[in-house]
Amino acid sequence: MKTLLSESIEHTPIGITIVEGGCGNVMIANSAGAKISGIKVSDSDSSMPIMEYLKKWPELFQNSTVCNLKDLPLAKAYFNKQNIEAEFIVKTSCCERTLLIASAPVLDEKGAVIAAVMIFSDITERKRLEESQRLSQLGKLASDMAHEINNPLLVVSGRAQLLSMEQNLTSSVKQNLDVIRDQCERAKNVILRMLKFSKTKAGDIKEENILDPLNLVIDILAHQFSLDNITIVKKFAKDLPLVKIDEEQMNEVFINLIKNAAESMISKGVITISTLVDNNMVRVDISDIGCGIPPEHLQRIFNPFFTTKKNGTGLGVSVSYGIIKAHGGDIKYSSIPGKGTTVSIFLPCAGK
């Protein structure tokens, strides 16, 4: 029976690690777990202490909220008797993956830990599919809303324009009509952005140097930034591979994200823009020394209409994210509240 159980665990397609409670040694770490995590425990390591096993994990968790060994799910189950189930972004040798990890202690009748179990699976592809479906549904909703709102908005704007042409209007009425027209124009711009969000497909694709749209946007923003005492520092790698991009869409991405960086700094500040090659991807980092983004906001950063700005639409980042995804790339944020934020844009090298 014991052999059957061991064989069943070994051939299960999800990662399973079991630690014995008394001695604190790893009893079982199956092949699926080694494949998912890249951490192999050989037969000769079958009595490996839990802390030795956990020391193999931190490299995976370098981009997550895990700060030390005892923050790892298996450690919390073993040392703190905690049940944990959470998703973690981990970095393997080739790319970032999303793991669903669950861990739990096994207790005896006195409440002592006799074992700790961790099971984990790679859900990266499932998350990508869910994200794709979510963006598709939101895109349709945005398109429908834009068309439904646009028609009555045109009527309001048109009537306000006609009224403003009447004779003998008081200054108060004229002022109110100006407000109506201004707000209609603002709503119109929001609708245009909603329509862009619903149509974030790469269009006129050409092989380009990413520095071409990047330098163009920096030049466009330079005058306003000089007035706002914001300095842009360029750290561009030489001989970057070409990328396949729609240059107009890429201009919009860079304008959105660089302006966001500027707006995060209350007074004068520095925006550092870096380019490099990262695993067959051209990466552009936009770093500021602004207020940073709280973790609870960072989780919602790509959600359409999510904004903390007084007059923001919450579409700039989501539109940019949709554009980059349509180019086969990705956008990632890292932030420390009170110190600043870095947004990283990844685009596949042409021909890769």
When the candidates are 1.10.287, 1.10.10, 3.40.50, 1.10.3470, the CATH number that belongs to 127-198 is: 1.10.287
Distance CA 335, CA 285 (A): 12
The pLDDT value recorded for residue 215 is: 92
Tell me if the pTM is above 0.75.
no
Mean pLDDT in order along the chain per 10 residues (352 residues): 75 88 82 80 65 72 58 85 84 72 90 90 82 68 74 84 85 87 80 65 80 91 87 92 90 91 85 92 93 82 70 74 88 89 93 68
The pLDDT value recorded for residue 291 is: 87
Give the Å distances, CA to CA, from 106 to 77, 153, 160, 217.
9, 62, 71, 57
Tell me the DSSP string of 36-66: HHS----GGGTT-BHHHHHTTSTTTTTTSS-
The pLDDT value recorded for residue 317 is: 86
Q: Which residue type is seen at 263?
A: E
Strands 205-208 and 96-107: unpaired
Question: SS3 of 81, please?
Answer: coil
Domain definitions of the chain by residue range? 2-122, 127-198, 205-348
When the candidates are 2.40.33.20, 3.30.1360.120, 3.30.450.20, 3.10.50.40, the CATH number that belongs to 2-122 is: 3.30.450.20
Judged on CB neighbours under 10 Å (0-12, 13-18, 19+), 318 is: buried
Tell me the DSSP string of 134-171: HHHHHHHHHHHHHHHHHHHHHHHHHHHHHHHTSSS--H
Q: Which residue type is seen at 305?
A: F
Helices 247-263 & 316-326 angle (0-180, nearest 10):
140
CATH code for residues 205-348: 3.30.565.10
The pLDDT value recorded for residue 94 is: 57
Q: Are 62 and 91 in contact (CB under 8 A)?
A: yes
The pLDDT value recorded for residue 283 is: 95
Q: What would the two tokens of residue 310 be?
A: 């007084």
**DSSP state, 308?**
-
The pLDDT value recorded for residue 193 is: 67
Q: Which residue type is seen at 98?
A: T
List, edge to edge, every strand of the sheet that includes 96-107.
26-29, 15-20, 113-122, 96-107, 84-91
